[in-house]
């Protein structure tokens, strides 16, 4: 994720900021420019950038509910921003607490949309393209029914991504993480995973990359329901860490792809943050070059996947050690075997091939 400067006072800003802590200006993210800018209200309730003639309106979800911080061009017919116009169903806001949970969801969703735009992936709403577009629904179960087999299933179906709103509640999410024996469960991880299913349909299905995909991930025509049932009843194969980035990835070739895709997004976005902070690591106790890291290029535009991996591994060693020093468990509970790295390299080639 990029870092930003206040366009009025130069203060360092973060993606989620809604006002500058130094000069007090309200802020808005302009997706077309990938920039966070200071805004002023003017007489017509449109928001002008101080010192320029440019005018924007706040996204309707920014204006009305404060669950967004993105802007829309004044001339745009749409009242919703690039991220919010992907919404199909928002939570029932008459239920107490839902607005706060929705706000958490939208924060994570905007991080996904940011990455998809940075990677120049096709991104259209279902409203624009009913067949090939993308949409999101945030739904909740009746109280006390949140489980993997509940009625609202987080998942993807032909461009439509549904996320169970309970995932935004840290207590519920941690309970599920523990029940499913997962080392890692985050909302952003869900968004990244489900987007992987969507882009499989867009970039792999019935296309020239299908054979390469099958050679690495297996034959996705294997019965999906049977595979999932088998996974939940018998667990993953004992040697899954040799071939899969997570135990769930071993359940079916589609899930392997979605997990690998999500992992690729974890890597490039975290590396971009390291690049923005100009992080270097040179462990004092290590003589080996492979522990040194200096992210010298934006990973979103990096053509060479090996360079991404070479930067990534030393960064994860440092991140895990920092987390342990704060009494937390490893922030990065994954081990990348050569087979997994090959799969990630394929995800990279698919994305670069499209861009």
To Zn ion, the closest distance from the beta carbon of 95 in angstroms equals 21
Supply the DSSP symbol for 39: E
Would you mind telling me the total number of residues written for the chain in this entry? Answer: 355
To Zn ion, the closest distance from the beta carbon of 320 in angstroms equals 26
To Zn ion, the closest distance from the beta carbon of 279 in angstroms equals 25
To Zn ion, the closest distance from the beta carbon of 319 in angstroms equals 26
Question: Tokens at residue 35, please?
Answer: 């920039």
To Zn ion, the closest distance from the beta carbon of 24 in angstroms equals 7
From 252, 254, 222, 226, select the one nearest 237 (Cα to Cα).
Answer: 252
* Nearer of residues 157 and 294 to Zn ion, judged by Cβ: 157
Q: Which of residues 75-94 bind Zn ion (CB under 5 A)?
A: 81, 84
Long-range Cβ contacts of 12-16 (<8 Å, 24+ apart): 15/110, 15/111, 15/114, 16/69, 16/107
Q: Name, in order, each residue with C-beta under 8 angstroms of 278's C-beta and a sequence gap of 6 or more.
A: 295
* Nearer of residues 260 and 281 to Zn ion, judged by Cβ: 260
Q: Which of residues 104-163 bind Zn ion (CB under 5 A)?
A: none
Asked if 70 and 62 count as a contact pair (C-beta separation under 8 A), the reply is yes
Query: Looking at 22, 35, 92, 304, which residue binds Zn ion (CB under 5 A)?
Result: 22
What b/e readout covers 142-180, taking b as 16+ CB neighbours within 10 angstroms? eeeebeeebebebebeebbbbbbbbbbbeebbeebeeee
For position 9 contacting Zn ion by CB under 5 A, the verdict is yes
* Nearer of residues 22 and 92 to Zn ion, judged by Cβ: 22
Query: Looking at 8, 113, 166, 267, which residue binds Zn ion (CB under 5 A)?
Result: 8
Q: Name, in order, each residue with C-beta under 8 angstroms of 17's C-beta and a sequence gap of 6 or more.
A: 4, 27, 36, 69
Question: Tokens at residue 105, please?
Answer: 């969801």
For position 6 contacting Zn ion by CB under 5 A, the verdict is yes
For position 68 contacting Zn ion by CB under 5 A, the verdict is yes
* Nearer of residues 81 and 293 to Zn ion, judged by Cβ: 81
Q: How many residues bind Zn ion (CB under 5 A)?
A: 15
For position 11 contacting Zn ion by CB under 5 A, the verdict is yes
To Zn ion, the closest distance from the beta carbon of 2 in angstroms equals 17
In the shown chain, the binding pattern of residues 236 to 265 toward Zn ion, with x for contact by CB under 5 A and - for none, equals -------------------x--x-------
Q: What angle do CA 186, 245, 188 make, to 5 degrees?
A: 20
Question: Tokens at residue 272, please?
Answer: 């971009």
Question: Which of the ranges 69-77, 88-96, 237-245, 325-333 carries the binding residues for Zn ion, by CB under 5 A?
Answer: 69-77
For position 187 contacting Zn ion by CB under 5 A, the verdict is no
Q: Which residues bind Zn ion (CB under 5 A)?
A: 6, 8-9, 11, 20, 22-23, 59, 61, 68, 70, 81, 84, 255, 258
């Amino acid at each position: 994720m990029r870092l930003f400067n206040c366009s009025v006072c130069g203060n360092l800003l973060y993606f989620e900021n809604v006002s500058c802590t130094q000069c007090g200006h309200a802020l808005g993210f302009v997706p077309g420019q990938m920039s966070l800018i200071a805004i002023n209200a003017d007489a017509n309730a449109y928001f002008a950038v101080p010192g320029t003639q440019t005018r924007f309106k706040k996204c309707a979800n920014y204006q009305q509910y404060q669950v967004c911080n993105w802007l829309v061009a004044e001339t745009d017919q749409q009242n919703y921003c690039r991220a919010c116009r992907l919404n199909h169903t928002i939570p029932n806001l008459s239920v107490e607490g839902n607005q706060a949970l929705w706000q958490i969801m939208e924060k994570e969703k905007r991080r996904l949309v940011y990455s998809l735009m940075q990677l120049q992936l096709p991104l259209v709403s279902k409203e624009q393209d009913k067949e090939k577009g993308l949409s999101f629904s945030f739904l909740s179960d009746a109280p006390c029914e949140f489980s993997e087999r509940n009625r609202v299933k987080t998942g993807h179906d032909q461009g439509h991504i549904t996320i169970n709103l309970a995932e935004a509640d840290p207590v519920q999410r941690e309970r599920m993480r523990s029940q499913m024996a997962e080392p890692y469960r985050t909302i952003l991880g869900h968004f990244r995973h489900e987007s992987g299913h969507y882009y499989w349909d867009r970039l792999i299905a019935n296309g020239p990359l299908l054979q390469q995909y099958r050679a690495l991930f297996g034959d996705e025509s294997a019965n999906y329901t049977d595979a999932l049932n088998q996974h939940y009843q018998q667990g993953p194969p004992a040697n899954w860490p040799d071939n899969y980035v997570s135990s769930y990835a071993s359940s079916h070739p589609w899930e392997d792809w979605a997990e690998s895709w999500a992992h690729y997004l974890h890597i490039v976005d975290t590396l971009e943050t390291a690049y923005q902070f100009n992080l270097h690591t040179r462990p004092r106790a290590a003589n080996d070059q492979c522990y040194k890291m200096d992210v010298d290029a934006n990973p979103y535009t990096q053509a060479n996947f090996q360079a991404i991996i070479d930067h990534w591994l030393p960064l994860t060693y440092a991140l895990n050690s920092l987390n342990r020093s704060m009494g937390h468990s490893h922030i990065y509970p994954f081990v990348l075997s050569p087979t997994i790295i090959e799969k990630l390299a394929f995800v990279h080639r698919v994305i670069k091939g499209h861009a």
